[in-house]
Amino acid sequence: MSRHRRVLDAVLDGTRRVEDLAALLGVSPSTVRRALGELEDEGRVVRTRGGAVPVGALAHAEPSWTEKQRRRVPAKRAIAEHAAALVQDHHVVLLDAGSTTTFIAERLADRRGPTVVTNGIGPMTALQHAEGVEVIVTGGHLRRPRGSLAGDLTRVVLDRIGVDIAFVGVDGLDPERGLNCPTAEIGALKELLMRSAPHTVLVTDSSKLGVAPHHHWAPVPGPYTLVTDDGLDPGVRTALESDRRCALVALPPRTPSP
């Protein structure tokens, strides 16, 4: 991967200051400044005092995981409830970073016995006082504003631990291409998360299905369960039901309690 591509990916991930970019990428600040200048000339970033932001970020900043938690909450809570029911007390569980996986962590907080491995600040925070759950945090560099940990240290931990079930969040999903991801680094990480467990469960509300807001992809390596709500576009539902690898769970709306 070219140095300019690495700088751009880091900026898209949320690392915006020159000094932080230099430390993350192992290059000099002057090298980062040159790369940012050329990326600005290409229309990829906008220079700011001390760093840069992606084009459009000043007006349309990427929402943080806490902001995402406030979106489509009933659907996400229903998805989390169904997902948490798949976990047995002896399981080692892998929770990806994200708002829906944070709701899963909240559902697991009262359990006794499971071990949770996570690269997400949200799940970690939800489980910090859960005395009955062993929590393992992967480490790695913090991707702002998404609240996830990534990088070489994250991959080392995931390569050295065995899990029973992995819950992976979704920014976009195409049955043929896989998970749509904001950067190549995150695409590789998502693929590793899915390869780390014999049972992969993708968790997302239906608004993320059939869309591709980013330029990178993580192929889904094998059979998987998709837990979502029933607001699926008919064409997307047909494509998912035609995918032999996909066990689709489309949850109906909750009936309000009397």
Q: Are residues 19 and 84 in the same domain?
A: no
Residue 257 pLDDT greater than 80, yes or no: no
Q: Is residue 257 part of a domain?
A: no
pLDDT of residue 255: 52
Domains held by the chain: number: 2
Asked if residue 128 and residue 11 are part of one domain, the reply reads no
Domain holding 74, by residue range, is 65-251
Q: Binning pLDDT at 50, 70 and 90, where does residue 71 land?
A: low
Out of 61-65, 145-149, 155-159, 200-204, which region has the weakest mean confidence (pLDDT)?
Answer: 61-65
Same-domain pairing of 108 and 169: yes
> Do residues 40 and 162 both lie within one domain?
no
**Taking 50 as the threshold, does the pLDDT of residue 4 lie above it?**
yes
143 in the same domain as 17: no
Greater pLDDT, 3 or 113:
113
Whether 196 and 237 share a structural domain: yes
CATH of residue 72: 3.40.50.1360
How confident is residue 63, by pLDDT bands cut at 50, 70 and 90? low
Write the CATH number for 32.
Answer: 1.10.10.10
Q: Enter the pTM of the model.
A: 0.75
Please indicate, yes or no, whether residues 176 and 195 belong to a single structural domain of this protein: yes
* Cis omega (within 30 of 0) for bond into 145: yes
For residues 10 and 117, membership in a common domain is answered with no
- pLDDT, tens digit, 9 for 90 and up, residues 184-237: 889 999 999 999 999 999 999 998 898 888 889 999 999 999 999 999 989 999
Instruction: Report yes or no on 59 lying in a domain.
Output: no
Task: Enumerate residues 6+ apart whose C-beta is below 8 A from 78.
Answer: 229, 251, 254
Does residue 256 fall inside a structural domain?
no
Query: Are residues 188 and 129 part of one domain?
Result: yes
Residue in 91, 157, 146 with CA at minimum distance from that of residue 121: 146
Report yes or no on 60 lying in a domain: no
